[in-house]
Amino acid sequence: MALLVAAGCALAATAQGKDSFTPMALDAGFGRMDITAPAVAPEEIIRQFAAKESEFQRALNHYTYRRIARVQTVDDDNKVDGEWYEVDDVIFDPSGNRTEKVVFAPENSLRRVQMSPSDLQDIQRGYPFVLTAEEIGQYDVKYVGRQKVDEVDCYVFDVSPKVIEKKHRYLLGRIWVDATDLQIVVTNGRMVPDDTRKGQEDLHPPFMTWRQQVDGHYWFPVYTKGEGILHFSGGSGYMAQDVHIRDIVKYSDYKQFGSTSKIIYEGQDITKPQNQPDAQPKK
């Protein structure tokens, strides 16, 4: 998220930008944290859940869904004074290639900040965070404990990027992994890096994403809320500004795309039959 007066949004080397924002409370029904050592070695839990996340990512690549994204600025009276809003369908084109179709996008009324490429990247790929076996080597993953999210028993891990590369976005935060299904059910943290250079600041609020099991096998993202006060230091003759940002993203209408691809879960083909003939009417 860049100030509207900023000229550009180049990436900075810093990963954390600790003084660039003030977090707002994000409601979550978490239970007491059990910090005793798990029965299974944390390294083995990490290996298993990363493999399950890879399965989930392959499955998600064969689903269509709708994403409703809303980015707001909030004034000192907690009233919305600007909004970017977009409804997109993540679908497949006639050639079977994955694409996004804008369904509804009213005029952008943000006046104090502007959407940056990294904001759009976070909405599309960062907020619905997936930590696959192919990508987990990019992160330091530390076991924290065991905790219930509502009634779901979860392993809890802190994750942070080992190295920050330009044009890449990374999660800095915490994940809750279902202790039975070994899939992420909650993600909490920030997408990094921020650009903290005066006059070119590109800052991002902390967020939380919840998943739900919608097909009996996989936990799909259903809701993201991000909120924080971003501290822009100004530059190029402009005064410093604090901007209260609120992001809300909803994901719905998950449907498996009709193709010849197979979805494998725990070694079993769980691909739903496509174009099955209707049952014969009773005589």
10-residue stretch averages of pLDDT, the chain, 283 residues long? 50 41 67 94 97 95 96 96 97 90 97 95 97 97 95 96 94 96 96 89 95 91 96 72 95 82 53 42 36
User: What pLDDT sits at residue 18?
Assistant: 46
User: What pLDDT sits at residue 279?
Assistant: 37
Residues 6+ apart with CB under 8 A from 240: 231, 232, 233, 234
User: What pLDDT sits at residue 17?
Assistant: 40
User: What pLDDT sits at residue 270?
Assistant: 54
User: What pLDDT sits at residue 203?
Assistant: 94
Task: Give the 3-state DSSP-derived string for 176-242, with helices as H, strands as E and coil as C.
Answer: EEECCCCCEEEEEEEEECCECCCCCCECCCCEEEEEEECCCCCEEEEEEEEEEEEEECCECCECCEE
User: What pLDDT sits at residue 45?
Assistant: 97
* Residue pair 111/82 in contact by the 8 Å Cβ criterion: yes
* Residue pair 224/40 in contact by the 8 Å Cβ criterion: no
User: What pLDDT sits at residue 152?
Assistant: 94
Residues 6+ apart with CB under 8 A from 242: 22, 229, 230, 231, 232
Q: Cβ atoms within 10 A of the Cβ of 133, count? A: 17
